[in-house]
Amino acid sequence: MEHLINRKVKEIEISGIRKFFNMVAGTEGMISLTIGQPDFPTPLHVKEAGKRAIDDNFTSYTHNAGDLRLRHAAANFMKKKYNLDYDADSEVIVTVGASEAIDIAFRTILEEDTEVILPGPVYPGYEPIIKLCGAKPVYADIRENNFRFTAEIIEKYLTERTRCVVLPYPSNPTGVSLSKAELSRVAELLKDKDIFILADEIYSELVYDQPHVSIASFLRDQTIVINGLSKSHSMTGWRIGLLFAPAAITKHILKVHQYNVTCAASVAQIAAIEALTAGMDDCLPMKEAYLERRDYVYSRLIDMGLQVEKPDGAFYFFVKIPDQALSSFDFCLSLVKEEKIAVVPGSAFSSFGEGYFRLSFASDMETLKEGLNRIESFIEKMQA
């Protein structure tokens, strides 16, 4: 019966990140610096709120868009943190993680043969959904621009079929973000065009050297902001994402969300209320630890003679492979076999990631030190 499967589904593949993670999982002695999983536990007071929700039998459906208390908390969070104004009743949707938010946004705004401009390299979760919508992903090469997806680059790829531009900052896999001035120029370029902006800001609370600025502060009417609690509050398994957009857009996205999942899990929503109110600054101690790790990992990679941009945010380094004779997959596979250290091949982030590998520093310092020792040992053997 496989021949009857939707052709578009058969043509997409499992994420290269997960492929590599699954391949090395369970190997004795393996150090994995692969997936973007915070190594901190969910804050205790947030877990307690979730437990109370169970004890209070808050286990029924909520409003399709999410419990109104949570939507108010989310809107207030965005106002206080980023000076963005959204109406809790009509402009906020609680989703099953940021991944579902991306899915329902694309399925609402894309049609057959429309185009979506993405920076290359980029997180692999966008392309499959775009293709399932019958639309075309268009990759803009940002490698020679220090991985910055600026207006000057975006302009080169605009066509009459462009329906959306994806701005994922801080970036996975590079950790690079955009300045206020750069975002202003992007807004000026796209202003008054019939083009949506999908602003994936899931790492907005993990920006180290400058305040996070959302493109929505410049171009609200065209922007769909994606956020969530997975990275900011170490709540990956709770699956709470947040979507913010003008009411004229969310009223249609909500229809797709309703028929997709009905609503996010009620217990997780109560925990999310606690996270966004009493835990508004829960991310700060995590960010301090990530910053220390970032600076340590950066100094080690530079000392190895490796080419890398220092990330502005998130918890990734995107590192140039020194020996171009090896593909990124073969390089990473050799690391696994010879040193028992796993990172993600750059090819997982589109063809524009070939020649690089992604290293996650969302691990404790002891693990990072040993992992980097193993990478250094491998590099020295390569260059001997």
Least confident of 14-28, 69-83, 121-135, 161-175: 14-28
Q: Helix (H, G, I), strand (E, B), or coil: what is residue 125? A: coil
* Alpha-carbon distances of 119 from 168, 306, 308, 318, rounded to whole Å: 8, 23, 18, 14
What confidence tens digit (pLDDT) does each residue in 112-138 have?
999 999 999 999 999 999 999 999 999
Give the pLDDT band (50/70/90) at residue 14: confident
Say what the pLDDT of residue 27 is: 75
The H-assigned helical ranges of the chain are: 7-11, 16-24, 44-55, 68-82, 97-109, 127-132, 151-157, 180-190, 247-261, 266-276, 283-303, 328-339, 365-383
Tokens of 364: 């404790």
What pTM did the predictor assign? 0.96
**DSSP string of 201-214?**
-TTTT-B-SS----
What confidence tens digit (pLDDT) does each residue in 31-44 have?
999 988 999 999 99
Q: Give the distance, in angstroms, between the CA of residue 58 and the centroid of all CA atoms in the same chain.
A: 30
Q: Answer whether residue 18 shows pLDDT above 90.
A: no
Tell me the average pLDDT across 266-294.
98
Give the chain's domains with CATH numbers.
2-42+282-383 (3.90.1150.10), 44-276 (3.40.640.10)
Report helix, strand and coil shares of the chain as percent, to nearest 5.
Answer: 45, 15, 40
What confidence tens digit (pLDDT) does each residue in 62-113 have?
999 999 999 999 999 999 999 999 999 999 999 999 999 999 999 999 999 9
Say what the pLDDT of residue 52 is: 98
Count other C-beta atoms under 10 Å from residue 381's C-beta.
11
Q: Answer whether residue 220 shows pLDDT above 80.
A: yes
Q: Which of 25, 32, 13, 6 is nearest to 335 (CA)?
A: 32
Say what the pLDDT of residue 229 is: 98
Q: Helix (H, G, I), strand (E, B), or coil: what is residue 369? A: helix
Q: Answer whether residue 17 shows pLDDT above 80.
A: no
What confidence tens digit (pLDDT) does each residue in 238-251 have?
999 999 999 999 99
Least confident of 1-15, 123-137, 363-377: 1-15
Tell me the average pLDDT across 269-287.
98
What confidence tens digit (pLDDT) does each residue in 292-344 have?
999 999 999 999 999 999 999 999 999 999 977 789 999 998 999 999 999 99
